[in-house]
Structure 1
Amino acid sequence: MSILVLIATLLAFALPVAYLVNGIVPDPYMDEIFHVPQAQRYCKRDFYTWDPMITTLPGLYLVSLVFESMVSWIPGMDLCTLNALRSINILLSLVCVCLFRSILLHLDPKVSERALLLKSVVLALYPLHWFFTFLYYTDVGSTAAVMAMYLACLKRSYWISATLSILAIMFRQTNAVWTVFGLCVGVIQFLQEAISSSKEEEAVDDTEKTPDKRYSESKFLRRRLHVCIGSHFYSGRHSDLQDAILNAWQRKWFAARQFSPFVLVILAFLAFVVYNGSIVVGAKDAHRASPHFAQPLYFALFTAGVLAPLQLSLNRFSSLRQVFRETPALACLSGAVTASIAIVAVHFFSLAHPYLIADNRHYTFYIWKDIIQTHWCVKYLLIPLYIFCWWSIIHSLLENLRDAGVRTPLLQKLWVVSFCGAVIAVLVPAPLVEFRYFTVPFYLVALHSFAKLQVSSWKFWFMAMEFLVVNALTMRLFLWKPFHWAHEPGTQRFIW
């Protein structure tokens, strides 16, 4: 019943907006001019004609075909019109909100149904996700597939998670990076279980050994660890790592069976990239990988800004001040190194893709032109804010990872390193600044941040109102503030 209430609540928000969008924008807009005809070819079972301007795999069209096949027996039902295809993303957004609910429930099993409902709906109203719910884009389906993959991973259903990662890659190829992240999360969970288990709870193959043989093997492994890691790292506060390695080694074949599907998916994707000659399917010249090292900095500022009550609070500044008080030398050294890296990234790798500076339909065009490019020093003045936002995001993840079952500080750090590595791997090669690319990592941060957030707090309601106001403003601009280009016919509209 609670899931039905959740779905009904989201539909109450979505259906009026969908009615307005379909009525005011009756023709395909922006990327829809590529996606809609391609989906309609699939509806006609034409799987061999491909638009060379489409960069993604046909996951969206295959899902649309499944929905079309499910209702094709109904007289007069055509699920391949523009409005019907757009409605598929509304259905996928319902899948997303149910996945948000399930992930939040996993992270906090004691949460009330009311809190689950409110948190899930607010997450579904996140402006980037909400806006593209009403257009035939790949974003909502991609988010749904990655969230399903992550949920299955949290539940230790690694074969299901790896299978869902294939669907995620079919929506957007960069989701292969989140497949690697899912593998890392699985391994971290496996190591956490190894740390928590006793010596008597070893792998089945090891239980048949005699105590003397088991002791001899354990002693040999300890000696090897002592040599490889070093006595200081091996002992004392790093005993958790010692226990994890010893127990994981004894269960290595079990781990291989658990995680082999991820490895197969990753290897298959790498083979595809080699065969295809690029990660994108079409328009390869316009989407070449580039060293866009400033992009992760934009992500941190954007994510922390959207989650400002959580990430830019006075408590965060107090925590940072406390770090400098407790370990001033280390904090100053870390800050200097981080600042140096950020300066290099901003100075040498702040890339302006031709699409960014030529297409005034996107908000990023105005942010780049009217903020970052107003003066040569602006991009450098933002560096301290970039650094603080990244520190705040990492700090919040470390605070909340215990709810995900990662209780060992060392493994919490490994989780954060895996997340940061995934963000870098997804964003750095992308030459174009697109807030849509931030959606998956944003949701990972937001879900863990929302897990213990009280729905009675002003922070929660501030973000709820923030999302509603931004959605209202952006949809108003999109629907009722059109403009025209002198060099191209048709109505243009503002879009994320």
Structure 2
Amino acid sequence: MSLGKIRMSKVCFILIIVAFFAISAVIFNQIYLTSTMVVDEEFHLPLGISYCKFNFFVWDPKVTTLPGLYLVSALFMGPLKLCTIYWMRFVSLVCSIFNIILFYKLFRKYEKNEWGNILSSITLALLPPLYFFSNFYYTDVVSMTMILSMIVANEKKHHYLAAIFGLFSVICRQTNVVWVGLIAARYILTELYSFTKLRQQEKGVPAKDLFTFFRRVIKRPLKVLENSNIQFWLDTLSYLATLGTFVLFIKINGSIVVGDKSAHEATIHIPQLFYFSIFCLVFAWPHFVGEVLNFITFTKRNKLLIFILIIICFLIVYANTLVHPYMLADNRHYIFYIWNRFYGKYALFKYTIIPVYIFAWYVIIKSLYSKHDISFLALYLLCTTAVLITQKLIEVRYFFIPYILFRLRIKTNTNSVFNIVLEFVTYLVVNSITLNLFFTKTIIWPEYEDPQRLIW
């Protein structure tokens, strides 16, 4: 791309961000006028306002996350004395703008299609559940900002800074430690591979060298490490310091959860991986459609594998489908209606949808696989599994980070720009529908004076 076109694209990107903020501010204000408190905000907002006033010695035992969101609020809104519900929510909106810039930086790292990167960045910021929560005082948007900042710093080889953002991400939400682990492990694996000198030109761990690499590290670790340098050890220690701090927190707290632990008991819930695959399929459907014929061909060539996968999935669904009491009791969330009108209503539905799960995971794995670097796919699958299967409650917010990591890796070449346009239009339509439902549909709960609203 010529210098003139690059400058024009940068100007357009800035104008798009300004337009995004202007339109979002209008929506934000309308949401505030409609409802000043939704669901878990009743726990978050009082704490946020207290921290904003630099009163750090209050806590609500019903809050299960660390006070990262409140500390960010205190940092930006406290000095300005903007400690009201409106400005607490505004923190999320501002972070959603930062996220667009971070998305753009990452897409530019992975792809060279400038216009595709700009459109993808705006589209991801409009991901319906994520965009919805940019209007409320929840941890999700701020948490995403920290995770994206960590990844950007890591990609730019600013590993000290990446470790610091990783620590802040954990303070926003404890499960983010898994994604810090992904970034740390991938850095260490990539560097160790370079020390083995198996293939000088590679910047990752090639699939064909994986077993040779591990065998060499296990059999002759000192031989591999003798090629390391002091910077590698300093960078590694910065990540380990963040991870070690979290381990110390677990030891002191006795659990990953702070506050009310009753709703977050340790469990194994493997079907969460299936629900996540549906989330990916729904919100990235234009990128999945083109793989249908390829999947059919793959199925014909691997009938035994597909049969075995169907049997395994059937057994998992039969033996491990868990239903959290909150999901059946709280009719303020879309999951309540999806479950009761499909999964809970029709006994066979959860089995008939198994082929869709398999197709979705086929596309996810194919999109993330690279013969030049298998490390990301391997760690992504491990970390996504660790984050999701330990959650009993089905909650779309748990899917945000693994979905974003998946979506960032989808190729955005010229031929796929049309898919991004379809994705963009889909997000606009879904956002319009969900916002309209929020504005128009009320739910009466006797214990609340104000009517409740339907949210993700």
Q: Is TM more than 0.5 here?
A: yes
Q: What code does the residue aligned with 1:483 have? A: I
Which of the numbers 258, 261, 266 marks the counterpart of 1:281? 258
How far is the alpha carbon of 1:426 from its aligned partner? 0.7
How far is the alpha carbon of 1:339 from its aligned partner? 2.8
Q: What code does the residue aligned with 1:101 have? A: Y
Give 1:34's aligned residue: 43
Which of the numbers 52, 58, 75 marks the counterpart of 2:67? 58
Q: What code does the residue aligned with 1:46 have? A: N
How far is the alpha carbon of 1:199 from its aligned partner? 7.7
Q: What code does the residue aligned with 2:310 have? A: A
Give 2:185's aligned residue: 184
Residue 26 of structure 2 corresponds to residue 20 of structure 1: no
Q: Retained in 1: the 8 A contact 2:147–2:166?
A: yes
**Percentage identity across aligned positions?**
30
CA distance change for structure 1 residues 175 and 242 in 2, over 3 Å: closer, same or farther?
closer
- TM-score (normalizing by structure 1): 0.82
Give 1:305's aligned residue: 282
Q: Distance in 2 between matches of 1:249 and 1:367?
A: 52
Q: Distance in 2 between matches of 1:344 and 1:239?
A: 31
Q: Retained in 2: the 8 A contact 1:194–1:244?
A: no
Residue 95 of structure 2 corresponds to residue 92 of structure 1: yes
Q: Distance in 1 between matches of 2:210 and 2:43?
A: 54
Larger Rg: 1
Cα deviations across residues 344-369 of structure 1 (Å, max 9, x unaligned)?
Answer: 32112211111000001100001110
Q: What code does the residue aligned with 2:145 have? A: A
How far is the alpha carbon of 1:18 from its aligned partner? 0.8
Residue 248 of structure 2 corresponds to residue 271 of structure 1: yes
CA RMSD of aligned residues (A): 2.6
Give 1:389's aligned residue: 360
Cα deviations across residues 399-435 of structure 1 (Å, max 9, x unaligned)?
Answer: xx5xxxxx62xx32x3212101111111111111100
Residue 433 of structure 2 corresponds to residue 433 of structure 1: no
1:77-476 to 2 correspondences below 5 Å? 78-108=81-111, 110-112=112-114, 114-191=115-192, 193-194=194-195, 241=213, 248-254=224-230, 255-311=232-288, 313=289, 315-324=290-299, 328=301, 331-398=302-369, 401=370, 408=372, 411-412=373-374, 414-449=375-410, 451-454=411-414, 457-476=417-436
Q: Distance in 2 between matches of 1:238 and 1:340?
A: 29
Q: Retained in 2: the 8 A contact 1:158–1:186?
A: no
How far is the alpha carbon of 1:372 from its aligned partner? 0.5
How far is the alpha carbon of 1:196 from its aligned partner? 7.1
How far is the alpha carbon of 1:395 from its aligned partner? 0.5
Give 1:484's aligned residue: 444
Residue 452 of structure 2 corresponds to residue 495 of structure 1: no
Aligned residues: 436
How far is the alpha carbon of 1:6 from its aligned partner? 4.2
CA distance change for structure 1 residues 48 and 238 in 2, over 3 Å: closer, same or farther?
closer
How far is the alpha carbon of 1:241 from its aligned partner? 3.5
CA distance change for structure 1 residues 115 and 324 in 2, over 3 Å: closer, same or farther?
closer
Give 1:49's aligned residue: 58
How far is the alpha carbon of 1:337 from its aligned partner? 4.0
Q: Retained in 2: the 8 A contact 1:292–1:351?
A: yes
Structure 2, gaps ≥5 residues long: 1-9, 202-207
How far is the alpha carbon of 1:244 from its aligned partner? 8.2
How far is the alpha carbon of 1:88 from its aligned partner? 0.9
CA distance change for structure 1 residues 269 and 340 in 2, over 3 Å: closer, same or farther?
farther
Q: Distance in 1 between matches of 2:445 and 2:46?
A: 24
CA distance change for structure 1 residues 386 and 198 in 2, over 3 Å: closer, same or farther?
closer
Q: Distance in 2 between matches of 1:280 and 1:454?
A: 45
CA distance change for structure 1 residues 97 and 241 in 2, over 3 Å: closer, same or farther?
same
Q: Distance in 1 between matches of 2:15 and 2:395?
A: 33
CA distance change for structure 1 residues 69 and 483 in 2, over 3 Å: closer, same or farther?
closer
- TM-score (normalizing by structure 2): 0.89
How far is the alpha carbon of 1:80 from its aligned partner? 0.9
CA distance change for structure 1 residues 470 and 334 in 2, over 3 Å: closer, same or farther?
same
